[in-house]
Each structure stands twice: as structure tokens, then as C-alpha cells.
Amino acid sequence: MAAESMQAPADGIVLVDTHTHLNDAQFQAEGEAAAAIRRAHAAGVMRLINMGDTMDSSALAVRLAETYEGVYAGVGIHPEEARPMTQADDDQIARWAAQPEVVCIGEIGLDYHWVKDEEKRTEQRAIFIHQLDLARQLHLPVCVHDREAHGDTLAILKKEGQGIRGVLHCYSGSWETAQEFLKLGWFLGVDGPLTFKKAAKLPDIVRQMPLGRLLVETDAPYMAPVPKRGQRNEPAFVRFVAEKAAQLRGLTLAEVAAQTTANAHALYGI
């Protein structure tokens, strides 16, 4: 990218969108991903991490990371896409992991909201554990998707997560469960739902948790924060999530931006 496009905006706010999907089909039209990255820079979002869902979308995340400065990739298989992984998959993930732009195994985890079938859930757990093993071997942190599977996610991370660091992305559990994850040393990621009127427990969790464990993210193209709710989400909008977190904590946006950016650096080395 041209150097001038990498300059932070005049107000000096610098943010990281730690979980996004410019590798999604909604950004594949000619120039769409590049335009979203330019708008992100204009909003002070100087770095972002595209997460893989499948081997194909992981490959695309890696390609975007190779192409654009400040763009990084997570590689892995999402629970909704869970299927037995082959040796060839493991080898490919290991090759990606050797690239400096690849900063985590993600997104991986459990999704019991969309997947009700017990056999499929058993398969999800096996593939989650397998990818935790890969992360440990490859010395990478992980980005965990946990939807309506808080108990099993916590149990698996307690038992199989030793020596692994990571984040519970788009955190949707209780404060009690959050404390368990925090005790294990995990980060919590928050996105659009924090800004929703019916945000339930999340604002209280953001108020109470250590700011040193908070990450901000968009999960674009989904779940755009207020005031963009209902639109296609994109990395620039992570600023609205950070603003909401600042309001909840009684801090300035600059303070929350500085801390969450330091947190992204601490976890992902970016």
C-alpha cells in the first residue's frame, strides 16, 4: 500500500479490528476489499485480522495478508464447517503458520446454535481439539467461536488448552463464565452486539472485566454496530464498538483504543 494511506487519522486514534472477514463472499467484487481497507485506515483502523472458516477461505485470508500492509490472517476450520481434517490440511496449516502474516489458528470452536445434531456436535468437539493441538505445535494463539456451547468450550479449554493463549471472540456468555475464561488467561472479544439495545449481559461484563483482556472486533460482514446496524459491516466500524466500550468504562476513546491495541499486540504480536 502507498505510505500515505497508512497514516493514522488526524485525531490520533489507532485501532485494530481483531476479527473480521474481508475474505467473505460479500467483499469479493473487484476492489471491494481494498476499498474497505482504505476506509478502515481513514477511521484509524490500521491493522485487521481476517479469519478463515474453511481451508479455501483461510487461503484467501492469507492472500489478502500477503497483499496489504497491516492485514493479517487466521487460518482454520469454523465449527459450522467442521469435517474430519486430513494430513494434507494439517500440512497446509503448518505451511501457512510459517508465514509472518499468519498470526493465529481461527476461527475454531463450537456452535450449538446452528448445529443441533449430537453426532455433528461430537465431530465439532473433535475438530476443535485437533486444531488446539495444531496451535500448540505451531506456537500460535487461537481465536475461538463459542455460540451456545459455553460449558463445553470452557471444559475443553481447561483440559486441552494448556499452553495455548487466545480469545473468546464475540463473547456471549455470562459474567460467571467470563471470569473462568479470564482466570485461564484468555482474552474476550466484543463486537456489534455490545452496541445493541438488547445487549443483555455484555455491557456489564465490559464494565467489570480487566481492560487489559479486552479486544475489539467487527466480525464483518455481519452484526454491524449501531449506528450502522443492518448494513454490511466492515473493519472501519470497529470504532463504534470501541466508543461504546469507552462510554461503559467512563474512559475516552483514545484510552480504550490505546489499551485494546496494546492487547492485540500482546496476543497476536501485531
Residues that bind Ni ion (CB under 5 A): 219
In the 3-class helix/strand/coil scheme, how is the chain assigned residue by residue? CCHHHHCCCCCCCCEEEEEECCCCHHHCCCCHHHHHHHHHHHCCEEEEEEECCCHHHHHHHHHHHHHCCCEEEEECCCHHHCCCCCHHHHHHHHHHHCCCCEEEEEEEEEECCCCCCHHHHHHHHHHHHHHHHHHHHHCCCEEEEEECCHHHHHHHHHHHCCCCCEEEECCCCCHHHHHHHHHCCCEEEECHHHHCCCCCCHHHHHHHCCHHHEEECCCCCCCCCCCCCCCCCCHHHHHHHHHHHHHHHCCCHHHHHHHHHHHHHHHHCC
- Min dist CB 217 to Ni ion, Å, is 8
- Min dist CB 107 to Ni ion, Å, is 5
With respect to Ni ion, which residue has the nearer C-beta, 89 or 219?
219
- Min dist CB 22 to Ni ion, Å, is 11
- Min dist CB 119 to Ni ion, Å, is 24
With respect to Ni ion, which residue has the nearer C-beta, 219 or 243?
219
Closest CA to 249 of 177, 198, 190: 190
Q: Which residue in the shown chain puts its C-beta closest to Ni ion?
A: 219
- Min dist CB 124 to Ni ion, Å, is 15
With respect to Ni ion, which residue has the nearer C-beta, 218 or 261?
218
- Min dist CB 219 to Ni ion, Å, is 5
With respect to Ni ion, which residue has the nearer C-beta, 111 or 219?
219
Closest CA to 51 of 158, 131, 112: 131
With respect to Ni ion, which residue has the nearer C-beta, 13 or 270?
270
With respect to Ni ion, which residue has the nearer C-beta, 70 or 79?
79
With respect to Ni ion, which residue has the nearer C-beta, 13 or 188?
188
Given its phi and psi angles, is residue 155 left (phi above 0), alpha (psi -120 to 50 degrees) or beta? alpha
- Min dist CB 206 to Ni ion, Å, is 19
